[in-house]
Amino acid sequence: MAHSYCRIVIHLVFSTKNRCSLITDDIREELHAYMIGILRHLNSPSIRINSTSDHAHILFLLSKKHAVDFVIEELKKSSSKWIKAKGTEFTDFYWQFGYAAFSVGQKGVDNVVKYIENQKEHHQTISFADEVRELFRMAGVEFDEKHFFD
């Protein structure tokens, strides 16, 4: 549809399987660049990506041509395959099965960008599990921890 417009901003969070610390400083920027390319290919350009050793935060614009679960599946599948090919230390790399995706209103984008940029400092005082609990609480989403933290 040529005259259809949308701007759906998604804050996506997911971890490595069992929160293994596999995202090293040596690979982090290259991983982010690869993810940016995947999202661009899916017409879902990234706004900001950052990660710690065990999880990633991605803010992106959802394509009007793809469902959110398709974009996330392709992003996780392709980046996992890519990182496994980067060396034997990544042979056992997997992303967790699930993810958390939250819509962000245009007025909230700058705050989420700052939040994502400050992950290193943020995680000096809060664990990933507590961070996710707070994100779910703020979004008003009930979730079962035993099914999210794999």
**For each of the chain's 150 residues, which pLDDT tens digit applies?**
568 889 999 999 999 999 999 999 999 999 999 999 999 999 999 999 999 999 999 999 999 999 999 999 999 999 999 999 999 999 999 999 999 999 999 999 999 999 999 988 888 899 888 888 899 899 998 888 777 776
Domain containing residue 76: CATH number: 3.30.70.1290
Q: What is the pTM of this model?
A: 0.92
Range of the domain at 141: 8-148
Please tell me the predicted confidence (pLDDT) of residue 129: 86
Provide the domain count of the chain: 1
Q: What is the DSSP code string of 71-139?
A: HHHHHHHHHHHHHHTT-GGGTT--B-S--EEEEE-GGGHHHHHHHHHTHHHHTTTS-HHHHHHHHHHHH
